[in-house]
Amino acid sequence: MIAGEALRDRLRAESVFSAIRAQGAGGQNVNKVSNAVQLRFDVRASSLPDGVKARLLALRDQRISAEGVVVIKAQAHRSLPRNQTEALARLCTLVEAAAQPPAPRIATRPTAASQRRRLDDKARRGQLKAARRRGAE
């Protein structure tokens, strides 16, 4: 996978930024200045490796649409460049998380004690049910 700065540059090139008005408090400034940023990143059209694309699309994240577009909104800062940097950092975090392949499951066997406990519980439950049958007749 691509490391740090190269990944950030590639994601920046493939992302579409649009300035929007921020929500919430801010007085007159918030009503006249579009400092919030909406970042759109099309996963399917990106140059990411196929495995990373598949894991990214499989994530259960509300920021990823059904069409495979990641939409991130950043509005924490008063300046547009800082909000762009924050949105890109969030996208990088998301992609880096998807870049890590899942750890393979290592098959294990139950211990002898756990098998014995399971069988004892099973026998006890069976005796309880058998006692109910005899009492109902």
Cα 50 from Cα 92, distance rounded (Å): 17
In this prediction, residue 33 carries a pLDDT of 78
Residue 19: partners with Cβ closer than 8 Å, 6 or more residues away: 34, 35, 36, 37, 80
- Mean pLDDT is lowest, of 26-30, 34-38, 58-62, 69-73, for 26-30
pTM exceeding the 0.85 threshold for the entire prediction: no
Query: Sign of dihedral through CA atoms 66, 7, 45, 56?
Result: negative
- At residue 118, the pLDDT reads 97
